[in-house]
Amino acid sequence: MVKKILVFNVGSSTIKFSLFENREKILEGKYEKLKSKEDYEKSFEKISNELSKKVGFDIIAHRVVHGGNMKSPVKIDKKVKEKIRDFSKFAPLHNSRELMIINLAEKFKKPQFAVFDTSFFIKLPEITKLYPIPKELSKKYHIRKYGFHGLSHESVSRGLKGKTITCHLGRGASMTAIKNNKPIDTSMGLTPLEGLMMCTRSGDLDPGIVLFLEKKGYDTDKILNIKSGIKGITNQKYSDFRDILKNIKNKEAKLAYDMFVYRIIKYIGAYTAVLDGLNNLIFTGAIGENAPRLRRDICEHLDFLGIKLDKNKNEKNKGLISSSSSKVKIYVKSANEDEIIIREVLKIIK
């Protein structure tokens, strides 16, 4: 019987880890603002040293952002690693770093498992997941909307009935329309670049911009993934939303903030139409959970939907922040991705 499971949740600039014993978390930690390969390697060594001093574990589970067509959690072997590596081309800021930690963790000589962020969106409707490009290209190169932050969207929406929009707002940001616990649409697509404007990622834009810049000789991968979004609008000054809030009187920071808010509002409007109404609006992620001003500015534009905030609860980041007169329930929730990872891994073992 497996008793202790070590979970790695590796992001585009972070490593989070948790240790569970019989589903109870007994240890956790986080390393932020990681930029280089060396940053990740040093952080992993610190985690390794911390674990060796305290407790052992039986198996390792990893959250992997892009699983491609892999529908379910899997035990990691050479073939699985090859697939994770292959789909790095669609998630360059994530899969390569996750694979790095998987390789480093082999020194523990424990079974390793992968749980994919994309699994929640495997059964998206065809009208949602297909892109209007020649179908033979989509089939040949596995081009479709995969969706990301699936573990987060699934976690915060569980148990809610009706029509729900989840807003995962962090360094990476995405939104999902969910009807009766099934995802109908999501803002990220083939890659985590589509959708909302993010801290360093552009989000939605005219594809003609990409063609134009490539003809001019620019590295569009680097520009759109690392130098755009909030960072781009502030002339490379800020890429952390906390810095935007601290410098909100600065003209560039205020513009970046207003653009971020506007695009979230636009998606909420679109998804409300897709769902034919709205019962629940959920904010999660580092920004979604800790920025009362952002939630207030978003919800003030949604008065026509009958959305009304309880200002006091919103300022205190309470769980339910809608007023008693609101026609839509508004929540601030922390995603428990680890809980889903543990649950899915235990299914395989059993």
Question: What confidence tens digit (pLDDT) does each residue in 99-113 have?
Answer: 999 999 999 999 999
Q: Give me the percent of the chain exceeding a pLDDT of 70.
A: 99
Three-state SS for 289?
Answer: helix
Look at residue 1 in the predicted model and tell me its pLDDT.
60
Asked whether the beta carbons of 17 and 11 are under 8 A apart, the reply is no
pLDDT at 137 over 80: yes
pLDDT tens for residues 35-64? 889 999 999 999 998 887 767 889 999 999
Q: Is 251 exposed, middle or buried (0-12, 13-18, 19+ CB in 10 A)?
A: exposed
- How far, in Å, are 23, 32, 87, 159, 257 from residue 243 at the CA level? 36, 15, 32, 35, 11
Residue-averaged pLDDT of the chain: 94
3-class state of residue 238 by DSSP: coil
What is residue 2's predicted lDDT score, i.e. its pLDDT?
64
User: Would residue 258 show up in a list of annotated catalytic residues for this protein?
Assistant: no
pLDDT value at 278 more than 70: yes
- In angstroms, the Cα distances linking 42 to 15, 31, 48 are 11, 10, 10
Catalytic residue among 39, 58, 86, 117: 117
Its CATH class, for the domain covering 159-332, is: alpha beta
Residue 25, φ and ψ in degrees, nearest 5: -75, 125
- The pLDDT score that the predictor gives to residue 32 is 87
C-alpha span between 126 and 103 (Å, rounded): 36
Please indicate whether residue 344 or residue 271 has the higher confidence score (pLDDT). Answer: 271
* Residue-wise pLDDT tens digits, 62-72: 999 898 888 88
Tell me the CATH class for 4-122.
Answer: alpha beta
Task: Map out the domains of the chain as residue ranges.
Answer: 4-122, 159-332
Residue 82 contacts by C-beta under 8 Å, 6 or more apart in sequence?
A: none
Determine the Cα–Cα distance for residues 11 and 141; give it in Å rounded to an integer.
Answer: 25
> Nearest Cα to 175, choosing from 247, 280, 78?
280
Q: How many CB atoms lie within 10 A of CB 146?
A: 30
| Phi, psi for 89 (deg, rounded to 5) | -65, -20
What pLDDT score was predicted for residue 255?
Answer: 98
| 82 alpha carbon, distance to own chain's centre | 23
pLDDT band at 224 (very low <50, low <70, confident <90, very high): very high
